Amino acid sequence: MNSILSKVDRTYFIETFGCQQNENDSEILAGHLEQLGYLPCGSPEEADVVLLNTCSVREHADDRFFGHLGRLKTIKQEKPDMFIGVGGCILMQPQNQQKILESFPFVDLIFGTADLGRFPDLFFGAADARKTYLAVGPAEGIERQLPVVRKKAHRALVSIMYGCNNFCTYCIVPHTRGRERSRPKADVMQEIRDAANAGYKEILLLGQNVNAYGKDRNYEDGDFADLLADAARVPGLFVVRFMTSHPKDVSARLIETIGREMTVEPHFHLPLQSGSDAILKKMNRHYTSAQYIAIAEKLRQARPGLTLTTDIIVGFPGETEADFAKTMSLIETVKFDSAFTFIYSPREGTPAAAWDNHIDKPTLNRRYQALTDLQYALSRQSNERLIGQTVKVLITGPSESDASVLSGRTADNRLVLIPLPETSLQADNAETRYTNTVVSAVIRSAGSFSVEGSLVDP
């Protein structure tokens, strides 16, 4: 048996590369390892068990993973007993599994996105084996209650469904996460109540397309609007968030629920991807720019002050200057409060990657620059509207760059930075004392990515 299993004070380190669902999967892996007696540690150098939970959504995410793996090789040469497991979206593709087996034979375990429930068995199986244990199962099934060690003090991530049926032509996710599977509502609600009872003030309901919740179960437990309303009524919560939504599945009931349930975030993340109907069609998105604008208007009517954020891809194959101009003009029309902007990245196995009308790099970069310039200006304008207002902020912890500054989010998901007054700085642990509390702050200044304010009655 590998000596790693008999050592005392064993430690683990998990590196997560992907989206919130990937983060949540890592929290479950941490839950398993802690049940097995492992303690968290701060770096792979100190760890007995290192897990890399990967993301395949863009090439950059792939590159980061293989770069990390190269560095782990050096550590493992000095610590041959260290256990290395790699899992997540990259490993769902057979060519990547082969690459690990051939080029990174020091890896002990390869597991998939739907193997979380059986992780302890795989872990022991791999520790016993003398070579890489390729244990990737199909992206099927739903997880019941699994152990979880939450990474954030203020927020509980709760997966409500797995997989995606949409097959947008650029996207790898349906290939790495399988078809849509909704968790039973009783399981989801139990997890939310447990989190609220444990003191979490924010719940983030997760799925690749949360609006399709319940569809695969013939809505026997209701739909997403029902689930959201029930979640919002769990006592003790500051805000219930959700992501991600698909415009084609935003129902009138959902909009009505957001207008009615004040604990549901006054924020909607609604990926647009492109403002050109021709490109949306080639992307297989099933809505038009006019339909998108109509949903945005309805949401803002239903919940005055709601912030609207989005994802946009520039340089999808075949995107003309006219298509791009339509995206720019739609952004001006809708005036997103913030946006994640991406340069199209070809993903092997997706339809668009095989097309022959890819956009050249200088054009990609030029369009990306124009897009981000426009969005940053709009984000700043949106944040400037808060100046002089007093807002409620859920403190998430000290700011990453300056420990004397508190960082938090408003219910409508704006990042708020609050420099602490000298007097409270002198108090013990002022920064962590505020974490997971809701404070009031008056906003003094605003930028594209955050606003800055001061505590009211600290």
Residue from 13, 18, 264, 309 that binds ligand F3S (CB under 6 A)?
A: 18
Q: What are phi and psi of 334, to 5 degrees?
A: -75, -30
Which is nearest to 195 in space by CA: 210, 207, 205, 209? 205
d(CA 394, CA 199): 13
We find the least distance from the C-beta atom of residue 387 to ligand SAH, in angstroms, to be: 30
Sorted by sequence, the CB contacts under 8 Å of residue 164 that are 6+ apart come out as 171, 173, 174, 177, 179, 180, 208, 209
Site string for ligand SF4, 162-181 (x = CB under 6 A): --x-xxx--x-xx-------
How far, in Å, CA of 190 to CA of 142, rounded? 16
- Residue 89 interacts, among ligand SAH, ligand F3S, ligand SF4, none and using kind-specific CB cut-offs from 5 to 8 Å, with ligand F3S
**Of 175 and 201, which has the nearer Cβ to ligand SF4?**
175
- Select from ligand SF4, ligand F3S, ligand SAH, none the partner in contact with residue 342, using the beta carbon and a kind-dependent cut-off of 5 to 8 Å: ligand SAH
* Region 307-366 residues binding ligand SAH, contact defined as CB under 6 A: 311, 313, 342, 344-345, 347
191 within 8 A of 158, measured Cβ to Cβ:
yes
Of 50-58, 128-136, 425-433, 436-444: span binding ligand F3S (CB under 6 A): 50-58
Between 25 and 221, CB nearer to ligand F3S: 25
Q: Which is nearer to ligand F3S, 26 or 436 (CB)?
A: 26
- Using the contact rule CB under 6 A, the part of the chain among 54-62, 292-300, 325-333, 410-418 near ligand F3S is 54-62
Query: Quick check: 340 binds ligand SF4 (CB under 6 A)?
Result: no
What does 21 bind: ligand SF4, ligand SAH, ligand F3S, none (CB cut-off 5 to 8 Å by kind)? ligand F3S
174 binds, among ligand SAH, ligand SF4, ligand F3S, none (CB under 5 to 8 A by kind): ligand SF4
How many residues in the shown chain lie near ligand F3S by CB under 6 A? Answer: 13
Which one of ligand F3S, ligand SF4, ligand SAH, none is in contact with 22 (Cβ closer than 5 to 8 A by kind)?
ligand F3S
> Residue 242 touches which of ligand SAH, ligand SF4, ligand F3S, none (CB < 5 to 8 A by kind)?
none
- With CB under 5 to 8 Å by kind, the binding choice for 161 among ligand F3S, ligand SAH, ligand SF4, none is none
- What is the C-alpha separation between 433 and 398, in angstroms, rounded? 10
Binding to ligand SF4 (CB under 6 A) within 179-208 occurs at 208
Residues near ligand SF4 (CB under 6 A) are 164, 166-168, 171, 173-174, 208-209, 246
Residues near ligand SAH (CB under 6 A) are 57-58, 164, 170-171, 173, 208-209, 244, 246, 271, 273, 311, 313, 342, 344-345, 347
Residues near ligand F3S (CB under 6 A) are 18-19, 21-22, 55-57, 88-89, 172-173, 176-177
